[in-house]
Amino acid sequence: MSAERKIASALISVFDKTGLEPIICRLAEMGVEILSTGGTADFIRKHGVEVKDVSDLTTYPSIFGGRVKTLHPIVFGGILYRRELEGDRNEAAEYKIPSIDLVIVDLYPFEDAMKKTYEEQQIIEKIDIGGISLIRAAAKNYKDVLIVPSREYYDDVLEVLNKGGSTLEQRKLFAARAFDISSHYDSAIFNWFNRDNSVDSMKMSLRNGRLLRYGENPHQSAKFYGELNENLEQLNGKELSYNNFQDISGALDLISEFEQGACVIVKHSNACGLALREKTVDAWTNALAADPVSAFGGIIAFNRALDYETCEKISEIFFEVLIAPDFDEKGLELLKKKKNRIVLKLKKLPIADNVIKTTQLGVLVQENDRISLDSTGWELKAGPEADEKIMNDSEIAMRIVKHLKSNAVVLVRNSMMIGAGNGQTNRVDAVKQSIEKAQKFELEIDGAVLGSDAFFPFADSVELAFNAGVKVVVEPGGSVRDDETIEFCKKNNITLLFTGSRHFKH
């Protein structure tokens, strides 16, 4: 470690003063001259510590409603002049520019403002100018100046001060933190201004990652970046894993498709059970029936509060994660009896505008698949017109299949998924898998709806489904051989609906 550098003067200008008191008291003990502005200066005086107003140093008051406070050559000269250069020292003496050795800043909360209001002027006024400039200046001159760029580092700087001064290594670390803070702040501002994507640029800034036990496999390291607590509250269980996060995301994406009471069971990001029922216990029983084997160790999600009876039924099997908006008090106690069971309270459904994937070649960005799945725009291409019940099952099928890995098909009957084929390299195998699943668990296929994420290139898939008892087929259409499928459906009195929308998912 390099020799410590003593601090003789400090500039403090912060929005959030929580935790600042011990710092200013320590600076006073050290005999450090403190410069400050506005509310921060008032706060310091309130705690009995002497402070000099920046306006006294610059001879300029705070102007334009506080927009300009610290933006002055005397202030920035005191931060930026290089102490080891004789020319800089001479200029500082000539223009009576005092050294500033420590800068403490906490920026206006721009991101909080975006969450609280849509009023443009209020958001604009939360764009910090002076603070961000101080951060960048002090970080640039880290060889001479210690920069504290955010309240989150108050404890760290207090530890440095308690040891008497800062080392070059410490100042460089704080400088790196400073540019992390400033780049994150600027990214948020850019993204707000570029909401219409008029500038062809993507800015992502992810901070304070949560270290996970491991990635998809034990030999892979992993982190989670995000504000989990905005959407979910963990009530019980071990720490979430990388795979948990992926499956939870898939379950919430699917459950968000339904306004009716629903239960979803997900395994490896694919639905293995889903049912819509008024009572949560019925939704659970029917969702589980679709594939009780795959449900073992799965992720279970509801969009309704769970009563005791439902909690009791779910407790009978092993599961990784259970999600619901609320839980019966005694039911929650029952669920908590196994300490590793992850139980999450759903505060609100997360909504992502875009899907971002990294590849070996670069980054792919696309809009999320949020196209309406309302059946009013669908075309009847063959067979009898579907009644209300069949149309309801058809819509459910398409809402499920869009969340399955392609090639994917799903069988739905009586508002319940009874079989699915997903992740197949051809559509025939996907249909076979869905039929075999339904037959394996003795679920009635006759009268079921078959939904497909993409068109059938040949009539063979529809023929397989028909022979198993399917009477309604829903698909996007668009194959050069659509006529063959349409003709087969006409001959066999199969209702064939074209949605016009493909839903590949890779």
Residue 140 catalytic?
A: yes
Tell how strand 33-36 and strand 52-53 pair up.
parallel
Residue 270 Cα to chain centre, angstroms:
19
How far apart (Å, rounded) are the C-alpha atoms in residues 33 and 9? 5
Looking at residue 152, the DSSP 8-state letter turns out to be G
Distance CA 496, CA 465 (A): 12
Beta strands in 107-166 (DSSP E): 146-148
Given the residues 52, 72, 140, 313, select the one marked as catalytic.
140
CB 62 within 8 A of CB 37: yes
Contact (Cβ atoms closer than 8 angstroms) between residue 232 and residue 347: yes
Segment 157-166 long-range contacts (CB within 8 Å, at least 24 positions apart): 157/23, 157/104, 158/22, 158/23, 158/26, 161/7, 161/23, 161/26, 161/27, 161/30, 162/26, 163/4, 164/4, 164/6, 164/30, 165/4, 165/5, 165/6, 165/7, 166/4, 166/5, 166/7
Residue type at position 410: V
Please identify which of the residues 72, 268, 313, 345 carries the catalytic annotation: 268
The DSSP secondary structure of 13-41, one letter per residue, reads EES--TT-HHHHHHHHHTT-EEEE-HHHH
Residue 398's CB is within 10 A of a number of other CB atoms, namely 27
**Which amino acid is located at 473 in the chain?**
V
Q: Is residue 315 classed as helix, strand or coil in its secondary structure?
A: coil
- Bridge-partner residues for 104, per DSSP? 12, 148
Q: Which two tokens stand for residue 209?
A: 């990652």
Tell me the two tokens of residue 222: 């992993």
Enter the tokens of residue 331.
């039911």
Residue 268 catalytic? yes
C-alpha 417/C-alpha 448 separation (Å) is 9
36, 11 Cβ separation under 8 angstroms: yes
Calpha distance 41→70 (Å, rounded): 13
In angstroms, the Cα distances linking 230 to 22, 42, 212, 226, 322 are: 31, 34, 19, 9, 17
The catalytic site residues sit at: 140, 268
